[in-house]
């Protein structure tokens, strides 16, 4: 019997008992918990203790938000619940029974499924093929049956999707929907979503939340990890905060507020960001009539004009997939420019190789940090020096000077608060948010005069996000120009001196910070003026 949210909000007593981890007694009706874990500890092979003495529970029909700084151990915990990692010690109860979750298949059998921070879809496969992949079918592949199942499940929850669409042709929001559908096709009761909103536009987030509410109304439970306190407040019934591998507190959503949560997430955090405006100077980047083709050969950018001034942050607002990505790739030399020009002061950047563009002082924070931003198997310090290791003092006479690279790295690690066990740790051992911090640290510290920032704070915790915003403004006051592309409209509005709206490969509107009309901006983003 699914527990209605109203019911458990009333039983505050029980909820508090659960949250009070250390004095937990067995008298709590365990069968009410879909999952109940106690004393979980996880040490990674490199010795990092990512979870210790973690006690956590999720009720039937509950939406439970998991908050915490980068590297707090959130992903580790949910990976344990979904069978991707095995804990060193601790007890896991599912529906009151003690279980061992050896692998993801076992987890799914127990009704637990997870949508990873980095999607686990095969891009060249269709929706149906991807879903078939995890249904442990055998023998002849019956895709029609799979499609039938998808139709049934998606109709039940009004999650529209074309089963024959190829994943690589779907926007992020829909890919996420496929991930969720896949779990539902496997009859999962407890869905774990690891930072599902970090790359979604506000509209897509709203859509996702609708889905979560519908799931909840059908008695399913959802664990959602997020860095946005507002989101946790909007969607969850209870909130658990983690710090340094431990659970700090679990509390019911109705009894808390944004400031309290922020202070719990980052100990004693209080926003100290002073937002100021820039004083735009000379034009530095002049883009004329730029046209760029997309992945499938379609015109993705259709004759865009853009002028970026020194000491200015220019925000590009738009729903993902309207040419922002191709525009950025063209400017950074990663994609061919079909026609038009890109000029840095007097220097022509059109169709020059990335290295040339980097040397001219254009730095780039890519949205896909893992594939574009770092070399996973190399160390943190090597990654931090990746773009200028050829220069003095990092190397001399073509010989790399390790010491100076390590010193530089240690400096950036402390400045940007990157949580790494040491500068020589491989990047693959960092948490998602810390990989993000690393990329941002490198790109904002190499003396660039233009910064192209794609979702610079996606996946970063409040403190780190603020630090990045602070840094961007600091650079701006020194005359650096920035192009900010973000799904987070709040971020764009907060930082930008000027905002252009991109729709269908064109700029369809422009606002200065003072003349901003949010209603109009939102309409323009959707293509209706």
Partner 1 sequence: MMEWALILGFIAAGIRTASPLLLASLGETVVQRGGILNLGIEGAMLMGAFSGFMGAYLTGNLWVGLLTSIIAGVLTVLIFGFLVIRINLDQVVSGLAINLLAMGLCLYFFRIAFSQGAFPYLGDLIGPYAIPGLSQIPVLGEVLFNQTVFVYIGLIAVPLIYFLIFKTSFGLRLRSIGEDPVVASYLGINVSRIRYLSLIIEGALVGMAGGLLTISMFNVFDSRIVAARGFVAVSIVILGRWNPWGALGGSLLFGFTEALSLWIGTFLVGPAAPSVSLLLRMLPYVVTILALLVGGRKVRGPAALGSPFSKE
Ligand X SMILES: Nc1ncnc2c1ncn2[C@@H]1O[C@H](COP(=O)(O)OP(=O)(O)OP(=O)(O)O)[C@@H](O)[C@H]1O
Closest to Mg ion by CB, 118 vs 210, is 118
Closest to ligand X by CB, 163 vs 436, is 436
**Segment near ligand X (CB under 6 A); pick from 46-54, 121-129, 138-146, 441-449:** 46-54
Binding partner of 300, given partner 1, Mg ion, ligand X, none, CB within 5-8 angstroms per partner class: none
Strands 347-348 and 246-252, bridge-based pairing: unpaired
Q: How many residues bind partner 1 (CB under 8 A)?
A: 23
Binding partner of 48, given partner 1, Mg ion, ligand X, none, CB within 5-8 angstroms per partner class: ligand X
Does 294 bind partner 1 (CB under 8 A)? Our answer is no
Q: Which residue reads 């990157």 in tokens? A: 418
What's phi and psi for 389, nearest 5 deg? -70, -15
Cβ neighbours of residue 402 closer than 8 Å, sequence gap 6 or more: none
How distant, in Å, are the alpha carbons of 16, 62, 109, 432 from that of 366?
42, 35, 37, 14
Q: Using CB atoms within 10 A of its CB, is residue 195 exposed (0-12), middle (13-18) or buried (19+)?
A: buried
CB of 435 to partner 1, least distance (A): 16
How distant, in Å, are the alpha carbons of 326, 330, 484 from that of 318?
13, 17, 11
Does 71 bind ligand X (CB under 6 A)? Our answer is yes
CB of 487 to ligand X, least distance (A): 17
- What residues numbered 105-164 form the site for ligand X, per CB under 6 A? none
Closest to ligand X by CB, 343 vs 370, is 370
Q: What is the DSSP string of 33-78?
A: EEEEEEEEEEE-TTS-EEEEEEEEEEETT-EEEEEE-TTSSHHHHH
Does 426 bind partner 1 (CB under 8 A)? Our answer is no
**Segment near ligand X (CB under 6 A); pick from 15-23, 45-53, 105-113, 156-164:** 45-53
Does 434 bind ligand X (CB under 6 A)? Our answer is yes
The continuous run of DSSP H or E covering 315 comes out as strand 313-317
3-class state of residue 407 by DSSP? helix
Does 240 bind ligand X (CB under 6 A)? Our answer is no
CB of 464 to ligand X, least distance (A): 9
Closest to ligand X by CB, 61 vs 113, is 113
Binding partner of 351, given ligand X, partner 1, Mg ion, none, CB within 5-8 angstroms per partner class: none
**Helices 432-444 and 462-477: angle between axes, nearest 10 degrees:** 10
| Contacting residue, 44, 100, 122, 411, with ligand X by CB under 6 A | 44
Does 46 bind ligand X (CB under 6 A)? Our answer is yes
Closest to ligand X by CB, 426 vs 446, is 426
CA–CA separation, 327 and 336 (whole Å): 10
CB of 75 to ligand X, least distance (A): 3
What's phi and psi for 501, nearest 5 deg? -110, 130
CB of 278 to partner 1, least distance (A): 42
519: its two tokens: 């209603």
The continuous run of DSSP H or E covering 383 comes out as helix 380-384
Q: What are the strands, taking DSSP E only, across 345-477?
A: 347-348, 362-365, 395-396, 399-400, 450-454
**Segment near ligand X (CB under 6 A); pick from 55-63, 64-72, 247-255, 495-503:** 64-72
Does 84 bind partner 1 (CB under 8 A)? Our answer is yes
Q: What is the DSSP letter of 379?
A: B
Q: By the criterion CB under 6 A, which residues form the site for ligand X?
A: 44, 46, 48, 50, 68, 70-76, 419, 429-434
Q: By the criterion CB under 8 A, which residues form the site for partner 1?
A: 45, 84, 103-105, 108, 116, 120-125, 129, 132-134, 136-141
């Amino acid at each position: 019997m699914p527990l209605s949210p109203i019911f458990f909000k009333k039983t505050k007593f029980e909820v508090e008992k659960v949250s009070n981890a250390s004095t937990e007694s067995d008298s709590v009706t365990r069968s009410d918990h879909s999952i109940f874990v106690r004393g979980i500890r996880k040490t990674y092979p490199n010795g990092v203790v990512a979870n210790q003495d973690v006690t956590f529970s999720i009720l039937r029909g509950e939406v439970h938000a998991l908050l915490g700084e980068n590297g707090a151990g959130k992903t580790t915990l949910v990976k344990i619940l979904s069978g991707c990692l095995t804990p060193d010690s601790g007890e896991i109860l599912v529906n009151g029974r003690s279980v061992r979750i050896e692998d993801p298949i076992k987890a799914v059998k127990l009704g637990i499924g997870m949508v990873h921070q980095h999607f686990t879809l095969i891009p060249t496969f269709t929706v149906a093929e991807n879903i078939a992949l995890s249904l442990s079918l055998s023998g002849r592949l019956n895709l029609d049956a799979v499609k039938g199942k998808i139709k049934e499940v998606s109709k039940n929850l009004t999650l529209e999707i074309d089963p024959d669409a190829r994943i690589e042709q779907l926007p992020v929001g829909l890919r996420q929907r496929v991930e969720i559908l896949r779990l539902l096709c496997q009859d999962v009761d407890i869905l774990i979503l690891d930072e599902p909103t970090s790359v979604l536009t506000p509209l897509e987030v709203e859509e996702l939340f609708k889905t979560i509410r519908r799931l909840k109304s059908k008695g399913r439970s959802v664990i959602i990890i997020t860095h946005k306190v507002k989101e946790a407040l909007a969607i969850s019934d209870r909130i658990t905060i983690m710090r340094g591998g431990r659970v700090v507190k679990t509390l019911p959503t109705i009894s808390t507020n944004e400031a309290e949560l922020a202070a719990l997430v980052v100990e004693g955090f209080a926003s100290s960001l002073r937002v100021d405006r820039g004083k735009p100077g000379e034009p530095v980047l002049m883009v004329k009539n730029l046209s760029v083709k997309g992945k499938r050969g379609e015109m993705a950018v259709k004759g865009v004009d853009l002028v970026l001034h020194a000491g200015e942050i220019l925000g590009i607002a738009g729903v993902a997939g309207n040419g922002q990505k191709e525009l950025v790739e063209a400017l950074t030399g990663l994609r061919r420019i079909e026609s038009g020009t890109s000029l840095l002061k007097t220097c022509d950047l059109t169709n020059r190789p990335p290295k040339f563009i980097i040397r001219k002082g254009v730095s780039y924070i890519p949205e896909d940090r893992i594939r574009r931003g770092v070399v996973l198997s190399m160390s943190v310090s090597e990654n931090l020096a990746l773009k200028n290791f050829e220069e003095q003092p990092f190397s001399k006479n073509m010989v790399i000077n390790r010491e100076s690279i390590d010193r530089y790295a240690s400096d950036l690690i402390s400045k940007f608060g990157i949580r790494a066990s040491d500068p020589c740790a491989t990047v693959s051992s960092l948490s998602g948010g810390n990989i993000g911090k690393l990329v941002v640290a490198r790109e904002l510290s190499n003396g660039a005069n233009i910064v192209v920032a794609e979702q610079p704070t996606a996946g970063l915790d409040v403190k780190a996000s603020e630090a990045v915003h602070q840094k961007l403004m600091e650079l701006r006051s020194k005359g650096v120009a920035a192009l900010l592309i973000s799904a987070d409209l709040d971020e764009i509005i907060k930082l930008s001196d000027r905002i252009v709206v991109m729709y269908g490969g064109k700029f369809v509107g422009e606002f200065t910070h003072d003349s901003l009309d949010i209603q109009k901006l939102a309409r323009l983003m959707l293509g209706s003026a």
